[in-house]
Structure 1
Amino acid sequence: MTTSTHPSTTERSTARSLLPLVAIIFTGFLSIGIPLSALPLHVNGVLGYSALIVGWVVGIQSFSTILTRKFSGSYSDRFGPKRAVCIGLPLASCAGFIYLASTWIADPLWSLIVLIAGRLLMGPAESLFLTGAMTWGIGRVGVPRTSKVMAWQGIAMFAALGVGGLLGVLIQQRYGFSGIAWSTIALPLIGLAIASMLGALAVVRGHTEGLPFRAVMSLIWRFGMAAALSSMPFAILSSFLVLLYKTHNWDGAGNAIFGFSVGFIGVRLLFAHLPDRLGGRKVGAVSVAIEFCGQLLLWLAHDPTMALAGAVLTGIGFSLVFPSMGLQAMANVPAHSRGLAVASFMAFVDVAAGLTGPIVGVVIGLYGYPSAFMAGALACVAALLVMWRSGAQH
């Protein structure tokens, strides 16, 4: 169990406590974001596989992450979040080496198999360093600032995914997928260097075990489900926006992904306090409604400007859903089970990310690439229904 007793922490000291962890998340997630936009181009354009296979390759990391969330949360509670971070980041570099090895294989099938092995290894790597960093942040600044921890680290996460999307396209075009692999190898090691310089949180020994997994899930599942459904548009955008642009012969797919990131970060920077002030359900519902409008714009887009506007709106809407739902989820869970609660909450988003690619790949096969974003709009409607039902029961 990690302690978290800093109720008098000032805003300045909160920033000092969180900035190194934000840097760790940013570098770690760059190693995820850079391949994310390059994978569709590599798997479809170089290896020659369909959109369905692209969806599986992109989404399979999330299945691997899901299977290790419980372990990573319990490990962080038992041995401390620093150790979880310092194991997860080198694993991410190892996944990069496997990506690199896949480029040495001429046969497309075996190259794909090795690439998938790297994606599977990146799952537990992400699970450990992200769960560890989130738990570490809450332990350093205190539970009342949980939404700030999630907001700041979420900025780092999605900034890395947005910037990584733009960089991934550029690196893939200039250096091929081997350049993507070398980036994946190097970036987590920068995060590891930062983590090694930070002091570990105290781990309380001799305390009884935390809540069982089932009990934690019963406390947070409604909030996790809403977060999962509202994250599906992002999974769709990151997996298929590049191919939508390619299908229409549009330029600027990387700019659209970057636009998502700008919308996301701008709202987080200016309005991260709103869940604490107005309530998570209210802020979450308005956010998902904006996200819904962004998905409709992408579905109806007839030029790259309209698609860019849809991506930006999606980022604006998605921005505050995670901290809004996360704040409510963490408030329901005792401190000695916080690592498991963080991991379980994020597992809902992992499930959505893992299932979205394959399911939407089938939809695209039947109705074309624009239909992916209608599926995202429907996911937003489902998220609003879950929030409404959750509010009716409390």
Structure 2
Amino acid sequence: MTETNHLALVIEDNQTRDKHITTTPEQRFQKIIIPIIVSVFAIYLSIGMTLGVLPGFVKNELKFDSLLVGVVIGLQFLATLLTRAYAGKLTDTKGPKSSSKIGILLIILSGIIYLIAAFFSQLALVALGLIMLARIVHGIAESLSITSALTWGIGLVGTQKSGKVMTWNGIAMYAGIAIGAPMAIWMKSTFGLSSVFAGLILLSIISWLSTVQLPTLPVDASHVRTPFYKVIGLIAGQGLGLAFSSIGFACLSSFISLLFAAKNWGNPSMAFMIFGTTYILTRVFFSSFPDKFGGYRVALVSLLIEAAGQLLICFSLTETMALLGCALTGVGFSLIFPALGVLAIKKVAPQMRGTALAGYAAFFDLSLALAGPIAGLIAGWFSYQAIYLFGAISCLLALFIVFSNKHK
């Protein structure tokens, strides 16, 4: 090696070391979390897009009733729920990068099935069956994707920032849902329903590309795994609190567009946008609160605000009142997942973190799977606004559960 080449290598090594030294913990956090956030955003944008067009497609074009609308919406979350244990085990044993890749491939498959369903829209029963199949595939994909994303992020940055990881992943999740719904409504009116479903495939590719350069996490194959049902038992208090708090979100995402249409209140996409905006802003400005003040306090305050928002929608006389209710629901619901999640993951060993997060998120899935059909029945028996009384009561039940599990 010449002296010149040696000198160049020394200079390069010093520059690399200096760059490493000057990199702050926050910069390292951002370098890891931003690709994961982009991936999660793309995945939940696909979920939001289906939420924006499927209720109207099933009810207005296929001519099925509100109960079937709730079943179609809830089916995805039921599929997610039933595969949480598998997603957690796969993530812990094969690594989050592998489970993330499988989830992305399944979203591509669901987009293809949705496209076929749109092609057979004149055959209502065939189209409905294909949509249900697509919802199941989409639900399994969601289970793998979010479990791997949370485990990946926490594993790379450390448990001391677990609340922040869950907060920013949640921003990506609900930003995707909030933006996806109105975007899909616009895409359908401009380019047709098939463009919405084709978009799912494109988003899957974006999700994969965003994280392809992230390092893999080491897997401890020798660790004796705690059975899934025991993990559920450990985190049941936080999980049930999450489940009941999520019913308000399920009611809003599934039926707010039909409520606005029934009341002739104009464009329902505004409700999604306001919910999403307040949800995101709350997480942006208060993301450190669960780690700083503790999950228990943050959850109690959040549940009270969400209950107020649901009651405001229930008793709204004008579009403005309903939109204000959506805003309060977004503020209240925003920090519940990370607040209770911080408490949940402290109860398990690091090697079981993926399983614990999967089990914790399963309560969210259970809530959304059951809330859709129940809300559909309430709408059929009473009215769309009565659904949000159900949401408010559920928030108060969550408040009681969280308070009861303060020292557990």
TM-score class, shorter: over 0.9
User: Deviation string for 1:301-334 (max 9, x for gaps)?
Assistant: 1221111111011000000100000000001110
Aligned partner letter, 2:199 = S
- Aligned match for 1:317, one of 329, 332, 352: 332
User: Deviation string for 1:41-92 (max 9, x for gaps)?
Assistant: 1111111111111000000001111111100110010010000001101111
Structure 1 length-normalised TM: 0.96
Aligned partner letter, 2:288 = H
Answer yes or no: is 1:266 the counterpart of 2:281: yes
Deviates more, 1:327-336 or 1:277-286: 277-286
Answer yes or no: is 1:246 the counterpart of 2:227: no
| SS class of match (2:219) | coil
Kept in 2: contact 1:330–1:341 (CA 8 A): yes
1:37 corresponds in structure 2 to 52
| SS class of match (2:223) | coil
Kept in 1: contact 2:161–2:291 (CA 8 A): no
Answer yes or no: is 1:140 the counterpart of 2:151: no
1:117 corresponds in structure 2 to 133
Deviation at 1:9, TM superposition (A): 7.5
2:14 corresponds in structure 1 to none
Kept in 1: contact 2:220–2:351 (CA 8 A): no
User: Deviation string for 1:223-272 (max 9, x for gaps)?
Assistant: 01101111111110000000000001111210111100111011101111
Kept in 2: contact 1:90–1:192 (CA 8 A): no
Answer yes or no: is 1:171 the counterpart of 2:190: no
Structure 1: tracts of 5 or more residues without a match: 1-7
Q: Compare CA radii of gyration and give the structure with the larger one.
A: 2
Deviation at 1:204, TM superposition (A): 2.7
Deviates more, 1:209-218 or 1:138-147: 209-218
Answer yes or no: is 1:184 the counterpart of 2:200: yes
Answer yes or no: is 1:221 the counterpart of 2:236: yes
Answer yes or no: is 1:307 the counterpart of 2:322: yes
Answer yes or no: is 1:231 the counterpart of 2:246: yes
User: Deviation string for 1:110-162 (max 9, x for gaps)?
Assistant: 11011110001111111111111110001110011110110010000010010
User: Deviation string for 1:363-390 (max 9, x for gaps)?
Assistant: 1111111001111001111101101111
Deviates more, 1:273-282 or 1:347-356: 273-282
| SS class of match (1:103) | helix
Aligned partner letter, 2:123 = D
- Aligned match for 2:403, one of 380, 388, 393: 388
Kept in 1: contact 2:32–2:214 (CA 8 A): no
Counterparts in 2 of 1:264-303, with a 5 A limit? 264-303=279-318
| SS class of match (2:218) | coil
1:204 corresponds in structure 2 to 220
Deviation at 1:166, TM superposition (A): 1.4
Kept in 1: contact 2:40–2:146 (CA 8 A): yes
- Aligned match for 2:383, one of 368, 379, 389: 368
Residues in 2 aligned to 1:35 and 1:379: alpha-carbon distance in whole angstroms: 25
Aligned partner letter, 1:275 = P
Answer yes or no: is 1:151 the counterpart of 2:167: yes
Answer yes or no: is 1:80 the counterpart of 2:95: yes
Kept in 2: contact 1:38–1:169 (CA 8 A): yes
Residues in 2 aligned to 1:203 and 1:292: alpha-carbon distance in whole angstroms: 41
Kept in 2: contact 1:86–1:196 (CA 8 A): no
2:70 corresponds in structure 1 to 55
Kept in 2: contact 1:298–1:306 (CA 8 A): yes
Kept in 1: contact 2:274–2:326 (CA 8 A): yes
Kept in 2: contact 1:51–1:364 (CA 8 A): yes
Deviation at 1:174, TM superposition (A): 2.4
Residues in 2 aligned to 1:123 and 1:261: alpha-carbon distance in whole angstroms: 21
Counterparts in 2 of 1:347-358, with a 5 A limit? 347-358=362-373
User: Deviation string for 1:183-242 (max 9, x for gaps)?
Assistant: 11211111112222222112233x133211122111111001101111111110000000
Counterparts in 2 of 1:99-114, with a 5 A limit? 99-105=114-120, 106-114=122-130
Kept in 2: contact 1:86–1:195 (CA 8 A): no
Structure 2: tracts of 5 or more residues without a match: 1-22
Answer yes or no: is 1:20 the counterpart of 2:35: yes
Deviates more, 1:189-198 or 1:83-92: 189-198
Kept in 1: contact 2:80–2:140 (CA 8 A): yes
| SS class of match (1:245) | helix
2:272 corresponds in structure 1 to 257
Aligned partner letter, 1:52 = L
1:5 corresponds in structure 2 to none
